[in-house]
Amino acid sequence: MELNPFDTEQIGIKTLEKSLMKSKSERSLKIGLPKETSNDERRISLTPGGVSILIANGHEVFIEKNAGADAHFSNQEYADAGAEIAYSAEELFKQSEMIVKVAPPTKMELSWMQSNQILVSALHLGNLSHEFLQTLIQKGVCAIGYEFIKSEDGEFPIVRMMHEITGSMAVQIAAHYLENSSNGQGIMLGGISGIPPATVAILGAGITGEYAARTALGYGAQVFVMDNNLALLRRLENALDRRIITATANHQYLSTALESADVVIGAAMTEGERAPCWVTDPMVQSMKIGSVVVDTVIDQGGCISTSRATTHSNPVFTKYDVVHYCVPNIPSNVARTATYALNNVIVPFLVEIGDAGGIQDCLWNNTALRNGTYVYKKHLTKKGLAEQFDMPFRDVEMLIASRI
């Protein structure tokens, strides 16, 4: 079949299918995909193409009715790929030994989880509770968090993909809220001949910050990027051919930048930890009337003091005459693109778990999934979480090695 060069979704999934289609795995897994019910979440973790790969490897996939509808994947597409459609979320949880989802489980979903079940999902560190972790521990669930999955080269593959989307989308969102119809200043990001462009201040020079900077430059904006990591700032300056202005994120530079900024993109974060709060209320108060703040790390607590989590159905609020957009799951608004991105990272991990004959042997051999594990054998295995919630923890490698 000849592929249209513009059909990027098909090219990506066909490449993945070609590399992963094989004979049966060592062990067949029962994988459940429930419909997301929280925070306007529209993504799903696997595409029909991804399901077909798992079926070809001897696994069973159960998907709740209409779970892919918001990403424009139909029940029929999943059924044609070999999945079994489940008409009850509770029944799906009972049938599955592994639950793969995007948002963390809700209280109801937690109540359906069973002993020795595997959970693969995001964790949303900013909203995490002691009760959530305690429930997973008591039930003996093996929990793997998207935020913690880190490969041997130090890359966070799922986080990186979502951050690329988030950074690009943040600027697109800010451009919209600068318009009069959204109670913004009524200015364009890029300006036109004889009229200077808008100023975009990006807090954080990581992946989200980089893609925000690339998109803002594409619009024609003047771009400032601030961080306390000089190596990241140098890398970004070189990558973008010195078309951005960089500065350390100290109080003086932050205050000055926010006074002149039309848009502030909050992207300051450390992987697997709560976001540092760099911007104070007085700094926001000093911003122009009708300027826009997009806090992309609100799911990790936010890096701007005036931020509070919003939703896709009610995405903005105004404080000190500044429009704040603080939706935790920005990629959900481009659910189809984000689902393809998730699928391309997750499917090889699921195939590897089957090939290893189960989660224990896979965790021993797979650095990324081992790093991603935060609850295992009724123990918390992340020191940062243990310190945050004053809970005991055990090193996951010790638990695996001891064969407890």
Q: What is the mean pLDDT of residues 134-145?
A: 94
Of 309, 328, 347, the domain-final residue: 328
- pLDDT of res. 275: 84
Q: Evaluate if residue 200 carries a pLDDT over 90.
A: yes
**What proportion of the chain, given as a percentage, has pLDDT over 70?**
93
Q: Closest Cα partner for 38 from 131, 137, 144, 124?
A: 124
Could you tell me the CATH number of the domain that includes residue 345? 3.40.50.720
Query: Are residues 192 and 322 both part of a single domain?
Result: yes
Query: Are residues 320 and 370 both part of a single domain?
Result: no
Which two structure tokens, joined as six digits, stand for 50?
A: 């991804």
CA distance 170 to 164: 10
Query: Are residues 387 and 246 both part of a single domain?
Result: no
Residue holding tokens 């911007």? 279
CA distance 104 to 182: 31
Is 70 marked active-site?
no
Among 59, 295, 299, 324, the one annotated catalytic: 299
Q: Which of 21-35, 185-199, 245-259 has the lowest mean pLDDT?
A: 21-35
**Beta-sheet pairing, 199-203 with 263-266:** parallel
Query: Are residues 324 and 338 both part of a single domain?
Result: no
Of 281, 298, 328, the domain-final residue: 328
Q: pLDDT, tens digit, for every residue of 112-134?
A: 999 999 999 998 777 789 999 99
Which two structure tokens, joined as six digits, stand for 43?
A: 């993504």
- pLDDT of res. 300: 84
Q: Cβ neighbours of residue 8 under 8 Å, at least 6 residues apart? A: none
Of 280, 308, 328, the domain-final residue: 328
Query: Domain for residue 229, yes or no?
Result: yes
Query: Domain for residue 1, yes or no?
Result: no
Q: pLDDT, tens digit, for every residue of 290-328?
A: 999 999 999 888 999 999 999 888 999 999 999 999 998
Q: pLDDT, tens digit, for every residue of 25-80?
A: 677 899 999 999 986 889 999 999 999 999 999 999 999 999 999 999 999 999 99
The H or E element that residue 317 is part of is strand 316-319
Query: Domain for residue 119, yes or no?
Result: yes
Query: Domain for residue 2, yes or no?
Result: no
Structural domain count, the chain: 2
Among 124, 163, 324, 379, the one annotated catalytic: 124
CA distance 317 to 53: 43
**Owning domain of residue 188:** 163-328
Strand order in the sheet with 84-86: 84-86, 60-64, 30-33, 98-100, 118-121, 142-145, 373-376, 379-380
- Looking at residue 379, its amino acid is H
Asked if 180 contacts 160 with a C-beta cutoff of 8 angstroms, the reply is: no
Q: What is the 3-state secondary structure (H, E, C) of 90-132?
A: HHHHHHCCEEECCCCCCHHHHHHCCCCCEEEECCCHHHCCHHH
Query: Are residues 356 and 288 both part of a single domain?
Result: no
Query: Domain for residue 276, yes or no?
Result: yes
The mean of the pLDDT values for the chain is: 90
Is 124 marked active-site?
yes
SS3 of 363, please?
helix
Residue 17: CB atoms within 10 Å: 15
- Looking at residue 81, its amino acid is A
Query: Are residues 295 and 364 both part of a single domain?
Result: no
Query: Domain for residue 357, yes or no?
Result: yes
Q: Closest Cα partner for 206 from 250, 253, 154?
A: 154
Query: Are residues 110 and 249 both part of a single domain?
Result: no
Query: Domain for residue 3, yes or no?
Result: no
Query: Are residues 95 and 173 both part of a single domain?
Result: no
Query: Are residues 135 and 80 both part of a single domain?
Result: yes
Query: Are residues 376 and 274 both part of a single domain?
Result: no
pTM score, whole prediction: 0.84
- pLDDT of res. 1: 46
Q: What is the 3-state secondary structure (H, E, C) of 8-70?
A: HHHHHHHHHHHHHCCCCCCCCCEEEECCCCCCCCCCCCCCHHHHHHHHHCCCEEEEECCCCHH
Query: Are residues 149 and 167 both part of a single domain?
Result: no
Query: Domain for residue 306, yes or no?
Result: yes
Asked if 162 contacts 338 with a C-beta cutoff of 8 angstroms, the reply is: yes
**Model confidence at 371, in pLDDT bands (50, 70, 90)?**
very high
Query: Are residues 130 and 172 both part of a single domain?
Result: no
| Residue 259 backbone dihedrals phi, psi, to 5 degrees | -65, -35
CA distance 339 to 336: 5
What are the C-alpha distances in Å from 399 to residues 120, 146, 218, 402? 19, 21, 49, 5
